[in-house]
Structure 1
Amino acid sequence: MVPLRPSTIICPVLVFSGVLWIYDVGHSQLYEVETAAILRAQKEAASPASASHIPDQTTAFRASPIVSAEALASGDDQGIVESNFSVVDSLRDSKVPENEINRAALESRYVDFFYGEMVDGGFAQFVGESEWDSQTVAMVRKGLVDIKAFRHLELFDDGAAIVAAIDPKELRQFINTPQPSSKDPVLRKLSLIDRQFFAVNDRESLVKLNAAWLRQQPNLIALSPEALRNELQGRGVYLPHRDKISVKS
């Protein structure tokens, strides 16, 4: 038997090892590609298919006012204002802090709250329902400024001056009384601007100005009922410890 030279043995071994190395590298790269594809598919499957979905919900409500597409398309001023009010209050009820809600949407909501109380029961009712909370008063005033309701702003400041002139203890007692008597001196003082309100509103409609303010927001989002519901229901997933966050009513 002819003895084999070392080179005769080593060469096939090196070739075989090289083949194994190439196979392992190729298999590893293929595995990485397949894994990436699976993860990408899982991510896409977990995301809502709707194009109207808001991608970053941790900041989405701060970035944009949101209304229903139906309310926006209808052209009805009251409809779009009420839609915004409903969205903002849904977020507040879900314990979303107001600093995570769009500022324009908040201002619109507070102005509409003021308008609703004035129409329903007058300035005394607004003071009672709001408890003359400083944040609420400031938001209403800022909203009146931004929607350019300057006649209403002047009247609101007149009402604030009346409140400032009332003894704090008397004001607190009035606020804490569920149904003040029509003869209550505080109620009578606060009601002095009620007639003026309707006269001003005939010339400067708060609803129209409020609706125009919302429509002119460049980042306004209009969603279908289903998409809107999904966004509102899904918000809590992105807000850590939402059950521990208190929101002022």
Structure 2
Amino acid sequence: MTTHHIPVVLTAAGAAGNNEDVVGDNVSVVNEMYRSLLNAEEIAPNALRSYFADFYLTQALDGGFAQYVFMTPDRAELDGYIREGLEAMGAKAHLELFNRAAALYDLLTETELQDYLEDGATTEDNAEGTAEGTAAGGHRADGAAAMELLDAEFEDLFEAEDVTGLNADWLRNQPSLLILTEQELAAHIADRVAQVPDMEERRAEEERENGPEFELIIRELCAVAGHELVKISMGDPNHEHHGETVLAWHFTTDQGEFIMIDDDEEAVMINPQTQEILATVEFELDEDFVEA
């Protein structure tokens, strides 16, 4: 089944609801497909266009264009889905504003970007008070002020052009639209999953990425050291290290046996025979880790 022949799918309950229900139902169906490890090439393109257009609207309503950018891992891909979706559903004014906001945001200097993102007054307050604030000596960078005006324009436009209604009508009129019960949807997704040749590899990768924290740290250390992890043997809570009793994780790579020791700031990969440190990762404030 090629991408262009994959149908948009709605549940019977969602399709029978109001505009918000229809758009939200498409979001739920796409999320379920993602949770089942289907990727974008295995989901209907128009379902994704609707999905990401709604994502953009939700983020922009909550925190302006800046929040959309902050919450978007790959703007190059998502911007394309959003533009195509807004155009296809007939949201011409929203498309025009999105293009202006995206173009201006990409031209912001570092100072303007910092000014735009800084905490302070709400977007609406900033937009209304730009001239007053400037006159009082509280000058904002030109690009930041312009972005705030576009955010305020977005809020007005959201009331004027019913993009949710346009999105819902577009979904309802999709060629080959499938409307399924919850049970039929589960079977439909299971059938799609069964057709994916590398699904077992995807599941294994998902399991690795969602493993316990010590395993993720060990995998990161192995990557830094250029080793391939073979297995994690055990945790030793009574390991002696620099005169202290610490928890050490024993593991094997393609190059031998090693241990991992971590504290609040960093984790190290040590050769237990020579005590040489082969790799270090430092913990960020959010308790993720990065290569040292």
Shared fold (TM-score greater than 0.5)? yes
1:107 matched to 2:45? The reply is: no
Name the amino acid aligned to 1:88. Answer: V
* Larger Rg belongs to: 1
Q: Is the 8 A contact 1:124 1:187 kept in 2?
A: no
Aligned positions of 1:82-121 closer than 5 A: 82-121=24-63
For 1:122, what is the secondary structure of its paired residue? helix
Relative to total residues, which structure has the larger helix share, 1 or 2? 1
1:229 matched to 2:186? The reply is: yes
1:215 matched to 2:153? The reply is: no
Measured in 2, the distance between the counterparts of 1:206 and 1:192 equals 20
Q: Is the 8 A contact 2:3 2:41 kept in 1?
A: no
For 1:95, what is the secondary structure of its paired residue? coil
Q: Is the 8 A contact 2:112 2:144 kept in 1?
A: no
Measured in 1, the distance between the counterparts of 2:147 and 2:53 equals 18
Q: Is the 8 A contact 2:3 2:45 kept in 1?
A: no
Out of 112, 117, 120, the position equivalent to 1:182 is 120
How much has 1:242 moved relative to structure 2?
2.1
Structure 1's unaligned 5+ residue stretches are: 1-57
Alignment deviations for residues 52-111 of structure 1 (CA, whole Å, 9 cap, x no partner): xxxxxx55995200011111123x101111111111122223321212211111110011
Q: Identify the residue that residue 137 of structure 1 maps to in structure 2.
A: 79
Measured in 2, the distance between the counterparts of 1:132 and 1:160 equals 13
1:71 matched to 2:14? The reply is: yes
Higher relative contact order (CA 8 A, sep 6+): 1
Name the % identity: 29
Taking structure 1 as the reference length, the TM-score comes to 0.64
Superposition RMSD in Å? 3.1
Q: Is the 8 A contact 1:77 1:207 kept in 2?
A: yes
The verdict on how the C-alpha distance between 1:152 and 1:135 changes in structure 2, with shifts beyond 3 A counting, is same
Alignment deviations for residues 193-244 of structure 1 (CA, whole Å, 9 cap, x no partner): 1221122122211100000110111211111112112322443222111254
Measured in 1, the distance between the counterparts of 2:40 and 2:5 equals 9
Measured in 2, the distance between the counterparts of 1:169 and 1:225 equals 50
Q: Which moved more, 1:133-142 or 1:84-93?
A: 84-93
How much has 1:187 moved relative to structure 2?
6.3
Aligned length: 185
Taking structure 2 as the reference length, the TM-score comes to 0.56
Alignment deviations for residues 30-71 of structure 1 (CA, whole Å, 9 cap, x no partner): xxxxxxxxxxxxxxxxxxxxxxxxxxxx55995200011111
Name the amino acid aligned to 1:204. Answer: E
Q: Identify the residue that residue 162 of structure 1 maps to in structure 2.
A: 104
Name the amino acid aligned to 2:120. Answer: S
Structure 2's unaligned 5+ residue stretches are: 122-139, 207-292
Q: Is the 8 A contact 1:182 1:188 kept in 2?
A: no
